[in-house]
Each structure stands twice: as structure tokens, then as C-alpha cells.
Amino acid sequence: MHICVLGAGIIGVTSAYRLLEAGHQVTLVDAAAQPGSQTSLGNGAQLSYSYVAPLADPSVWTHWPEYLFSAASPLTLRPKMDTAQWRWLLKFLAACNGKRVRQTTIDLLRLSFYSRAQLQQLSSAIPLDFQHRTAGKLVMYADAKGLEGARRQIEFQAQHGCQQEIIDAARCLQIEPALASAKRDWAGGVYTASEEAGDCALFCQQLVTAMLQQPGFRFAHSQRINKLEMRDGALTAIYTSDTSDASDEKIDAEAFVLALGAESASFARQAGFTLPLYPLKGYSITVPLNDAASQAAAPQVSITDLSRKIVYARLGNRLRVAGRVELVGMDRSIPATAIDELKRGVSELFPGCAGLADNDNLSPWAGFRPATPSGVPIIGASPVKNLYLNIGHGSLGWTLAHGSASLLTQLIAGKTTAIDASPFSFSG
């Protein structure tokens, strides 16, 4: 069967690979010239298989004034005259209850562990160099109360396969000596030795290069989708224009996979249905570690500064620094204040890292994490009978991509799925 995958971020690229592996002819379509050029480009780089608890949480209710009014809040809500935003927010608040969050965490852990296994299988089959390694992860807490709250979460997750431990500040510094120079006091941290890191965009590029060696694969890059052709409740073709020379193309297929990230909601409206998606905007910088002193000062273990909601991941001689969650629509600007916040984080935690003065050297990035209100992605059939969905992974796209792609491929084939797929089905 000829299947057209819409979107060449990490979700679309992995979907294309698994469908090609299953014997389908695959066309991968994207508006950018390179795969992984948008939200996948500058993400946090952490493969956080044990850290999947959703943004929707009962604590949201007590922090709501801070999200609305505090400039220092790591989560920012800017209310707009946008019915999609308010509809999403109402569903998000409804998902902020303990029972729902526990079930969501269980469902996401199953998918994340399956995703880890699928990445391991792929890496054994195709040698890709995307700076992938098992780095371990430390989530650092500045107060004892927060650390005690983490203990309850760890005890819950241990019942579902997670191996994590609460450790004191001294043990944190033994595991990651670079933290010894931090201008912060820590109560302790949560250590997960099995967590991984890797360059998501580099992975996308290398996997597409590998797929191009297969006769059944085509990468239709620089193609912006302009129009859909529908017939008898099915999607029969898309019409695209080349972003470089304005030429038009009709791409028809027997089935389509929607993996356009935050832009999937707009596509769905054209196809006649509504998706519960909203973009969660985030930012990153990538700090070059060009000298021996900077390399020694940067962490080897992935770090999350929980109070600041900033993550740090080592990618060879680079340090990826990412943070913030903003509900501001599709505002593509990168304000200097957001980049300054990330730079201050580096200066506080790893002051020996040089090269922060010139923003142009830091590759400032903003991306739109496509999130459902509950945090559970949507994988499988849509109301359009030959259009399948692989969307809504929020900040966990890199972590969940491989399992999601395999699950989607099994659903398209009508096979028994490796894990229960029902939590991820579209419910309207």
C-alpha cells in the first residue's frame, strides 16, 4: 500500500520508517528542506522514559495565579480571543485530577518503555550516529518538601517498572561532579541511571538518509500542503506547492498519516473534524563547549532543575539547554528574555561553561510542542477512513516517537498491538 506521511519531524520520520519496514511504499512530505527542522530541531534532547507524568496535575489549581500573572513562572498563559485555546484549557483543567493523572502516567510509561525497546531494535538494525548514549538523569530539588513529594511519585512508578532512587545532595555531586560549582543549594535529587540522551534532529536526518536508499521511499521536501481532495469520506490526495520554486504537485495515496505536530489541528479542520491540540511553546539554546575548561565544567549526566523547569543534556561537545512552557498560540518570536533566562541557568549551575555572550553562537530555538489536554497522544484511526493520526505527544515526542510509530504501523495493518492501544485512540 502507498502511504503518505505528512510531517518530517521525529514522529513523522519514525512513522515513515516503520511503515517502510512493514513493506509499504512511503512518501514523506514536509514544508522544510531538511527533516527534523522545526519542533524536533532544538528540543531538550533527553530520552526521559521514566519521566512521563503529564502537565495536567492537581497542583495546577494552586499555581493558577502564578501562571497568569508572574513573569518568573516557568509556565506562562497568555489568554487570547481564541476559542481553540479556551476549549483546550477547559479540557486541560478537567484532566487535572489525581485519578486521571495516575492512569495517564501508567499509559505513558507503557508506551515509553515500548518506545525504548523499539529504538534499541532500530539502532541494532541501522547504525546511526546521533550522539546517543545512556547518560542517566538527575532531577534536582531545592527544597525538602518537593523531594518528599517526589518520593511518593517514585513509589507509585516503581509499581509499573521504573527504577529510580531518592538521593541526598552529596550523592548527587558524586554522580555529577559538575554540579559542585553550582550557585545553588540542593535538598537532593531523583536519580534514574537508565535514562538516555541524543540529538533528535540529527537522528531524523540520518534515518531519512538511510531510508532514501530504499526503492519504496520518497522524501517530498520543501512541499507546503495547500489543499485536500476528499471523496466519499476518504482523503484521496493532497496538493502541495514547492516552497523554493512555487511549482505545484498532486500527491495521491491509499492512506495518509497526519504527523504535522501543532499544525495538525489546522489540517484536521480542512478534513472536516476537530483535534484537541494546542501548541506548548518552549525555547532552547545549544552551548558550544569549545575549550577543555568548558567541556570539564559541563555535565555528563542529564540534569533537570525542577524549580526553574530547565533541562540540560550533553551532546558531545555541546550542551542543550531547554525550558519554559507557554500557551501563547503560534507566536514564532524568540524574545531575548527567554534566551537570557536559559543563559542565567547555565551560569548558575555550570559557571565554567564559556561562550554565553554571543547569542548567535547559541542557536536560539523556539518550538511548538503539540499537546492534548490530558498529555496522552492520539495514535490510530481518525474520522476520515483512510487518514491515521500520530499526534499530541507534547514535550515527549522524542521519548515516545519509536513506540508510537510501531503502534501506528500495527494498527494500520489490523494486527494485534504490542501494548494496549485503546488509551491512545481518537475519541472526538
Q: Which residue has the cell 514535550?
A: 395
CA distance 15 to 409: 7
For residue range 217-263, list pLDDT tens digits in order: 999 999 999 999 999 999 999 999 987 766 689 999 999 999 999 99
pLDDT digits (tens, 9 = 90+) for 92-145: 889 999 899 999 999 999 999 999 999 999 999 999 999 999 999 999 999 998
Domain count, the chain: 1
**pLDDT tens string 24-55:** 999 999 999 999 999 999 999 999 999 998 88
pLDDT of residue 60: 75
Q: Give the SS3 label for residue 219.
A: strand
Residue 10, domain member (yes or no):
yes
Confidence label for 269 from pLDDT (cuts 50, 70 and 90): very high
Q: Which three cell numbers stand for residue 73?
A: 513562572
Higher pLDDT, residue 75 or 325: 325
192 within some domain: no
Return the DSSP state at 332: -
pLDDT at 63: 66
- Give the tens place of pLDDT for each residue, 166-223: 999 999 999 999 999 999 999 999 999 999 999 999 999 999 999 999 999 999 999 9
Give residue 66's pLDDT band: very low, low, confident or very high (50, 70, 90).
low
pLDDT at 357: 87
In a domain, 238, yes or no: yes
Residue 134: inside a domain, yes or no? no
Q: What is the average pLDDT across 394-418? A: 97
pTM: 0.96
In the predicted model, is pLDDT for residue 71 greater than 90?
no
Q: Please say whether the beta carbons of 268 and 400 come within 8 A.
A: no
Closest CA to 426 of 392, 402, 400: 392
Phi, psi of 353 (to 5 degrees): -80, 120
CATH number where 225 lies: 3.50.50.60
CA distance 228 to 251: 10
> Mean per-residue pLDDT for 407-420?
97
Cβ-contact 225, 6 below 8 angstroms:
yes
Residues 425 and 373: their CA atoms lie apart, in Å, by 14
Evaluate whether residue 106 is within a structural domain: no
CA of 85: how far to CAs of 80, 177, 276, 277, 410, in Å? Answer: 7, 43, 10, 9, 33
Q: How far is CA 151 from CA 144, 190, 204, 414, in A?
A: 11, 8, 36, 41
In tens, the pLDDT along 297-355 reads: 999 999 999 888 999 999 999 999 999 999 888 999 999 999 999 999 999 999 999 98
User: What's the confidence (pLDDT) of residue 56?
Assistant: 84
Residue 77 is assigned to a structural domain of this protein: no
Give strand pairing partners of 190.
139, 166
Answer whether residue 224 is part of any domain: yes
pLDDT in tens, 13-27: 999 999 999 999 999
For residue 233, the Cα-to-chain-centroid distance in whole angstroms is 31
Q: Rounded to whole angstroms, what are the CA distances from 395 to 10, 83, 159?
A: 12, 23, 24
Domain that holds residue 22: 2-40+202-275+374-424
The DSSP string of 80-110 is -S-HHHHHHHHHHHHT-SHHHHHHHHHHHHH
User: Residue 286: inside a domain, yes or no?
Assistant: no
Residue 200, judged by CB atoms within 10 A of its CB (0-12, 13-18, 19+), counts as: buried
Q: Are 107 and 99 in contact (CB under 8 A)?
A: no
Could you identify the residue written with the cell 495516575?
Answer: 102
pLDDT at 322 (0 to 100): 97
- Mean pLDDT calculated for residue range 289-300: 96
Length of the chain: 428
Report yes or no: 277 and 266 within 8 Å, Cβ to Cβ: no
